[in-house]
């Protein structure tokens, strides 16, 4: 059996189950400021702690939604490794994405992945859909939920 077919069978057996929970990571003001600098999104709710404390219901600054989303890749590194025969993984996008709760500076986040679907796209690619929840430590409502698509690319099926 080709490596991709073996990976497909093993993955299909996991559909509907939790396949990974990442380590916690702290989103501090320095990380928020660095993200603001690199993206040129310097809205005061992210970068002005005094004003954010005085003028928002958050008690201080909050992380950019896209900063929270960008941490999904870091969380995936904690949870997934290459399958036998896989040569790379490619971010294929999102079907759905919702930001549910603001991430206050100093919060700790982690990713939780549930495999929702997997199918063979062609002789060298599996399309995997994971339901991702990015949790905020100590809060019931997560920062975001998403249906994240990824391609697992395998070597030449003939070789």
Torsion sign across C-alpha atoms 10, 11, 13, 14: positive
pLDDT digits (tens, 9 = 90+) for 6-64: 999 999 999 999 999 999 999 999 999 999 999 999 999 999 999 999 999 999 999 99
91 closest CA partner among 64, 130, 123, 119: 130
Question: What is the pTM for the complete model shown?
Answer: 0.93
Q: HSE (CB half, 13 Å, CA atoms) of 126?
A: 29
DSSP structure class, residue 95: E
List the domain boundaries for the chain.
Answer: 3-154
Rounded distance between C-alpha atoms, residue 128 and residue 121, angstroms: 10
Rounded distance between C-alpha atoms, residue 100 and residue 54, angstroms: 23
For domain 3-154, the CATH architecture is Roll (3.10)
pLDDT digits (tens, 9 = 90+) for 80-113: 999 999 999 999 999 999 999 999 999 999 999 9
């Amino acid at each position: 059996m080709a490596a991709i077919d073996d990976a497909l069978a093993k993955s299909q057996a996991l559909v509907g189950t939790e396949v990974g929970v990442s380590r916690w990571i702290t989103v501090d003001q320095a990380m928020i400021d660095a993200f603001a600098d690199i993206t040129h999104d310097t809205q005061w709710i992210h970068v002005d702690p005094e004003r954010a404390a005085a003028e928002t219901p958050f008690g201080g600054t909050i992380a950019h939604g896209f900063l929270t989303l960008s941490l999904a890749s870091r969380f995936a590194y904690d949870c997934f490794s290459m399958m036998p025969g896989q040569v790379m993984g490619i971010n294929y996008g999102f079907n759905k994405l919702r930001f549910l709760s603001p991430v206050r500076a100093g919060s700790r986040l982690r990713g939780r992945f549930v495999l929702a679907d997997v199918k063979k796209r062609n002789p060298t690619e599996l399309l995997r859909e994971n339901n991702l929840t990015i949790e905020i430590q100590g809060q019931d409502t997560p920062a975001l939920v998403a249906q994240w698509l990824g391609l697992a690319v395998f070597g030449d099926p003939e070789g």
